[in-house]
Amino acid sequence: MSRDSIKSPAATLASNLNSSTGQTGKPLTITTLVSVGQHPKSGRARVADQDAKALELALSLSAGKGTAAVGKGEAGAGKSQINLIHAGTATAEQQLVLRGYLGMGVGQMRVLKQSDGADVIPVLVDAVRKSGSDVVLTGSRAEAGEGSGMTPYLVAQSLGWPMVPAAVEITAVGSGEFEILQALPRGQRRLLKVRAPFVASIDAAAAEARQTAWAAGQRGALEHMTLSSNDDAVLAEAAVEPARKRPKRIARAKKAKTAADRFKAATAKSASKGGAVLVKESAEEKAEAIYQMLLSQGVLKAR
């Protein structure tokens, strides 16, 4: 297959661009909900990877790959606005992390300060509702705490908006309509169409977030708002402890009725050790052998 025949997803979308404005021609308002992440190795608070990618998507959507295509006169009207909202305890240490989002190039963030273990959904919904947003972007799963991935769904449910999971690219195609590329496993993509307003969660496969500029983050403003909140009763009841290593499933001790069989099954080595080596065959035969393996693995895609 020649490379030219396949359009990259970006190119497919770019050709459809014409405007980045919302439904009624008013500038687009994009809200990004961000959380305080957790480094998977050190457990230290950090800018959450997917949330940063959501903000990156918001920034590129507002810088509008689209607006460039709009005439100069409209450019001002097409300039969209980004709201950055965080709800949580916002301790001093966490605020340092939150400044990391500001350092990506947003002037201010609304920080909805809550008590520890409080339910963030009602305050987030309220804040989004008041912001007059067209698009709400979030990460797919929080890095700290329960990390169930419910937040975008609950926000969408409360607002009555559609919820699009695993977005990697969002482009405005005009009159309130958006095209969203959704990440499927193995780098495959699906195109979805949805009208604003909507909520989308961002997949880990989305474009890497831009670097945060420390000084810009320091200068940005955190607008605090302390809110009363309900405690999370469910999680309070649950036992939370450091993750245990998952036991490895013993290779199919299926019909193993005897101890010897079970032992054999548990210690069996994978069959792939020591592969075949072709030396003397002709190049065609070697190629054929490779080709057959590719076929058997199902990686050769039809055109």
Partner 1 sequence: MLESVIPWLLAGFIAVLVAGMLRRISLWRAGQPQQVNLVAGLMAMPRRYLVDLHHVVDRDKVMSNTHVATAGGFVASMLLIILVHGFGLDSVWLARALLLTTVVMFIGALFVFRRRLNPPSRLSKGPWMRLPKSLLTFAATFFVVSLPAAGVLPDGFGSGVLAFILLAGIVAGLGEMLFGMGWAGPMKHAFAGALHLAFHRRPERFGGGRSTGLKLLDLDTSNGKTLGVAKPTDFKWNQLLGFDACVQCGRCEAMCPAFAAGQPLNPKKLIQDMVVGLAGGTDAKYAGSPYPGKDVGNAKGSPIEVITEGLVSQETLWSCTTCRACVEECPMMIEHVDAIVDMRRFLTLEQGSTPGKGSETLQNLIATDNPNGNDPQSRSWWAADQNIPLMSEKKEADVLFWVSDGAFDMRSQRILRSFVKILKAANVDFAYLGDEERDSGDVARRLGDDATFQSLAKRNIATLKQYKFKRIVTTDPHAFHCLKNEYPDLGGNYEVLHHTRLINELVAGGKIKLDALTTAGTVTYHDPCYLGRYNGEYDAPRDVLKAMGIELAEMERSGFRSRCCGGGGAAPITDIPGERRIADMRMDDIRETGADLVAVGCQQCTAMLEGVVEPRPQVQDIAEMVAAQLVEIEQPASKREVA
Partner 2 sequence: MSDVIRKDPRKNWILRNRLHPLHEQVVAEMNGPAAVVRGPSGLIRKNPHAVGFIGPNGIKRIDRLGGSGSAAASAKREQQEEQLPIIAIEQPQSYVVVVVDAANGELSAHDRDVLGQARLLADGRAENTAVVALVFGALKAALGEAANPDHAFGLAGADRVMLFDDECYAGFAPEQQLEAMLAVDRQLSPVNWLFPDTHLSGNDRALRLAARLGERPAMHAWQIKDGKVTSRGGSEMTDITRDLAAATAPRILALASECALPVDEARYEARLLPLPSVPNAMVRIKDAGAVAVDPNQIAMGEAEFILSAGNGIHDWDQFHATAAALGATEGASRVAVDNGFMPRFRQVGATGTWVTARVYIAVGISGAVQHLQGIGSCEKVIAINTDAGCDMVKRADLSVIGDSQEILAALKARAEQGAVAVSEPQQGKADGESNHNVA
Question: Could you say which of 126, 153, 173, 227 contacts partner 2 (CB under 8 A)?
Answer: 153
Q: Is 181 in the site for partner 2 (CB under 8 A)?
A: yes
> Which is it for the CA torsion 130, 131, 135, 140, positive or negative?
negative
- Binding string, residues 31-60; x marks residues near partner 1 by CB under 8 A: --------x-xx-x-xx-------------
Interface with partner 1 in residues 271-290 (CB under 8 A): none
- For the bound state, the minimum distance from the C-beta of residue 292 to partner 2, rounded and expressed in Å, comes to 9
Could you give phi then psi for residue 106, rounded to 5 degrees?
-115, 135
Q: Does 92 bind partner 2 (CB under 8 A)?
A: no
Give the tokens for residue 182: 């959704």
Of the pair 79, 210, the CB lying nearest partner 1 is at 210
State whether residue 170 is helix, strand or coil: strand
Determine contact, residues 98/104, Cβ cutoff 8 Å.
no
Ranges within 66-85 binding partner 2 (CB under 8 A) = none
**Cβ proximity of 253 and 265 under 8 Å:** yes
Q: What φ, ψ does residue 211 adopt, rounded to 5°?
A: -70, 145
Binding mask of the shown chain, residues 101 to 130, with x at each position contacting partner 1 by CB under 8 A: --xxx-------------------------
Q: Does 214 bind partner 1 (CB under 8 A)?
A: yes
Contact window for partner 1 (CB under 8 A) among 100-108, 243-251, 266-274, 292-300 = 100-108
Cis-peptide into 152, omega within 30 deg: no
Q: Taking CB under 8 A as the rule, does residue 244 contact partner 2? A: yes
Which residues have a Cβ under 8 Å from the Cβ of 237 and sit 6 or more positions away?
A: none
- The reply on whether position 182 binds partner 2 by CB under 8 A is yes
- Which residue type does 212 have? T
Which parts of 1-40 interact with partner 2 (CB under 8 A)?
1-3, 6-10, 12, 37-40
Query: Which phi-psi region, left, alpha or beta, contains residue 112 (left: φ > 0; alpha: ψ -120 to 50)?
Result: beta
Binding site for partner 1 (CB under 8 A): 39, 41-42, 44, 46-47, 103-105, 210-216, 218-219
